[in-house]
Amino acid sequence: MEVYYTHKAVEQLESLPNPIQKRIAKKMRFYANQKEPRRFAKRLAEPRGGEFRFRIGDYRVIFDIIGKKIFILAIKKRDEAYDYN
């Protein structure tokens, strides 16, 4: 699968410390190389900003899958990830 980041997700990723950026990028490459990456994800109860999320340490990567593409919509710290205001 290919991974695409929205402009917002790129900004959020770039605002994180470098070691965390690398950890998230490495994990996303791992997920993209899996036959079914959704098995590592959790479906969101209120999918207003994306249908699934990956947990990477204290961060949540909110995403959708369309065909063979993973679209990263947001990268947030756990305590901010589910705030829909």
- Please give the structure tokens belonging to residue 75: 């990268």
Query: How many domains does the chain fold into?
Result: 1
Q: What is the CATH number of the domain that holds 13?
A: 3.30.2310.20
How far apart CA 25 and CA 32 sit, in angstroms, is 10
What does the pLDDT profile of the chain (85 residues) look like in tens digits? 899 999 999 999 999 999 999 999 999 999 999 999 999 999 988 777 789 999 999 999 999 999 999 999 999 998 887 665 4
Tell me which residue range forms the domain holding 66.
Answer: 2-81
Give the β-pairing of 42-43 and 59-66. unpaired
Q: How much is the pTM?
A: 0.88
